[in-house]
Amino acid sequence: MWAMHSAAEIVAHQFAEAINAHDVSALCDLMTESHRFVDSLGTVVTGRETMRAGWKAYFGMVPDYAIAIDETFSDGPVVVMVGKAGGSYAPKGVQTAESRWETPAAFRVRVENGMVAEWRVYADNEPIRRLIG
């Protein structure tokens, strides 16, 4: 399936698949210990264990969060994936049609030694921010 892709692209896509599976253990297994997560507002969160708690909390708030990758570009250890992100804002576990959001998104991934050193998200936060209020 990934035979024509670089090793960095394979890791980036594995990370995206772990996000879609809401598999926090798999995400952490793919992160460097000093992993950096950068959201679309520029907020930086550092550390695998900090991100373990962060992903658990996010999946609790958006229980059907998923990303779709339409295109992938890479240059050495850097991979850019373009697509969309979406889910339902349901902090109390109740998903409704009104709680659903989706936005175009891009993800910049820096891979070091077969692990994700940085996951950077570029997306419009407005759709979910409207729901959060």
Topology of domain 7-132, CATH: Nuclear Transport Factor 2; Chain: A, (3.10.450)
Confidence of residue 18 (pLDDT cuts 50, 70, 90): very high
Model confidence, pTM: 0.91
Q: Are 107 and 9 in contact (CB under 8 A)?
A: no
User: Could you read off the pLDDT of 98-133 as tens digits, one per residue?
Assistant: 889 999 999 999 999 999 999 999 998 777 777 777
Q: What is the residue extent of each domain of the chain?
A: 7-132
- How high does pLDDT run on average in the chain? 92
